[in-house]
Homo-oligomer: A and B are copies of this chain.
Amino acid sequence: MKRVAVLGATGIVGQRLVSLLGNHPWFELTAVAASEKSVGKKYCEVVRWVIERPMPAKAGDLELLPISSDIAREKIDIVFTALPAEIAKDIEIELARQGVIVVSNASPMRLEPDIPLINPEVNADHIEAIEYQRKIRGWSGAIVKVPNCTTAILTLSLKPILDDFGIKKVIVSTMQALSGAGLTGVPSMFILDNLIPFIEGEEEKVENESRKILGRLKTDGIALNTSFVASASCHRVMVLEGHTEAVFVETERDVVIEDLIRIMEEFRSNKIKGLGLPTAPEKPIVVRREIDRPQPRFDRMEGEGMSVVVGRLRKDYALSGVKYVVLGHNTLRGAAGTGVLIAELMVKKGLA
C-alpha cells in the first residue's frame, strides 16, 4: 500500500479524491490538509460533504493538517493536490524536491514541456517525461498534472478521430456544471433561470492543453501537436455535475459516421490496456445512439464517472468533418478520477 495525502481535501475535487482514495486497493489515505481555520479538526467535522456516496469512515477521522509541503514528513509516497492556482506551484515544487510524487489538479505549469499532462487513455506514454523533468529540475520526486476538466473530456473523444481521420480544426462550445466552480463558486441568485457565458481562463486552457495532451513525447519533453487549432467558448449552466460539450471537427480525411461510431466504441487505448488499473473504465468512450443523449443527469456516472459519453455523431458540412456532443463527469474524469488513474499508472510502471 502506498501512503497518500490530499492537499485541499474539503473542496469538491478534494472530496472526490477522499472518496476514491478512502477505499482504494493500492492506496492508504494517510493525511488530509485544508485551510488554516480547519487545521486540527477532524475531517468529518469540517467538510460539507456533497458526494453521493458516504464518506469513508477512516477518512472522516483524520485530523486536518495545514496546507504545506511539511506534509512530506508524514512519509507520504504520493500527494494529490486540489489547490487554488495561486498557492499550488510553490508547495508542489517543494514536495517534488523532497522526493514526493505530486499528482496535481492545479493549473500552473501544465504547459511546461517537462511536466507530463496526462489523460491516461490518450497519452499515458507522456509519463516518461518525468525522467527528463528530474534531469533538468534535479528533483527526486516529480510533478504530474491532471488536465483541465473540459479538456480531459474533449481530448478523450478526439483521440480516436485524430488517430483514424486526422484533425485540422476543433471548435468546442461547452455547457459546464456548477461543481466546476467549487462548492461555493456560483451563488444561486446568479444562476437560477440563467446561465453565465464565461469561465475565467477556461477557453485558453482548452485551446492550449488539448494540443499538449495530443502532442508527442520527445527526449526533451512533450511537443505540442500543431497539426490542428482549437477554439473554445465556455459557459456555465445549472447542472450539478457533468460538462457537456458541442464539438465541431474539421478532419483531414472524410468520415463515415458508422465507421467512427464503431471506432469509438472499440476504443480501448493501447496506452493503458492490460495494466489492470483499478480506476480505468472498461469503455473509456461510450456511444449513445438515442437522438437526445448524452444528458448530464443520466449519463455522467457512466463507467463510475470515468467514461465519456458521446452522442449525436453526424457529418459537419460547414467544416468538412464531424460534429457531436460529448459529456463527462467533470470532477471524476475531469479531475479526481483522472488524478487517481494517473497515480495507479505510475505505481504500475514503477514510477511511484
Q: Point out the residue from B189, B230, B233 that lies within 8 Å of A246, measured CB to CB.
A: B233
**CA of A195 to CA of B301, assembled, Å:** 15
Given A197-B293, A229-B318, A238 and B237 contact (CB-CB distance below 8 Å): yes
**CA of A112 to CA of B303, assembled, Å:** 48
Q: Is the CB of A195 within 8 A of B239?
A: yes
Question: What are the residues of chain B within 8 A of A184 when measuring CB–CB?
Answer: 187, 189
Q: Point out the residue from B190, B292, B323 that lies within 8 Å of A196, measured CB to CB.
A: B292
Closest to A191 in B: B188
Q: What class of interface size applies to chain A in its complex with B? A: 35 or more
Is the CB of A134 closer than 8 A to any CB of chain B?
A: no
Closest to A53 in B: B301
A324 → chain B closest CB, angstroms? 8
Given A318-B170, A318-B231, A240 and B193 contact (CB-CB distance below 8 Å): yes
Is the CB of A22 closer than 8 A to any CB of chain B?
A: no
**CA of A199 to CA of B332, assembled, Å:** 28
Is the CB of A34 closer than 8 A to any CB of chain B?
A: no
Is the CB of A216 closer than 8 A to any CB of chain B?
A: no
Q: Is the CB of A237 within 8 A of B175?
A: yes
A44 → chain B closest CB, angstroms? 11
The interface of chain A, by Cβ under 8 A from chain B, is 12, 48-50, 52, 169-171, 173, 175, 178-179, 183-198, 229-231, 233, 235, 237-240, 244, 246, 248, 291-298, 301, 311-312, 316-319, 323, 325
**CA of A179 to CA of B190, assembled, Å:** 10
Question: What are the residues of chain B within 8 A of A197 when measuring CB–CB?
Answer: 244, 246, 292-295, 311-312, 325
Q: Is the CB of A194 within 8 A of B298?
A: yes
Q: Is the CB of A193 within 8 A of B292?
A: no
A335 → chain B closest CB, angstroms? 15
Q: Is the CB of B175 within 8 A of A296?
A: no
Q: Is the CB of A229 within 8 A of B317?
A: yes
A118 → chain B closest CB, angstroms? 25
Closest to A321 in B: B231
**CA of A229 to CA of B297, assembled, Å:** 33
**CA of A187 to CA of B296, assembled, Å:** 16
A274 → chain B closest CB, angstroms? 26
Question: What are the residues of chain B within 8 A of A169 when measuring CB–CB?
Answer: 318-319
Given A179-B189, A235-B175, A237-B237, A195 and B316 contact (CB-CB distance below 8 Å): no
Question: What are the residues of chain B within 8 A of A48 when measuring CB–CB?
Answer: 190
Q: Is the CB of B170 within 8 A of A195?
A: no
A350 → chain B closest CB, angstroms? 37
Given A188-B186, A193-B297, A173 and B173 contact (CB-CB distance below 8 Å): yes
Question: What are the residues of chain B within 8 A of A198 when measuring CB–CB?
Answer: 291-292, 312
Q: Is the CB of A233 within 8 A of B194?
A: no
Residue pairs across A and B with Cβ atoms less than 8 A apart, 22 shown, are A171-B171, A171-B319, A175-B235, A183-B187, A185-B187, A188-B238, A192-B238, A193-B193, A193-B238, A194-B295, A194-B297, A197-B246, A197-B294, A197-B295, A231-B248, A231-B317, A231-B323, A233-B312, A233-B325, A235-B246, A235-B325, A237-B237
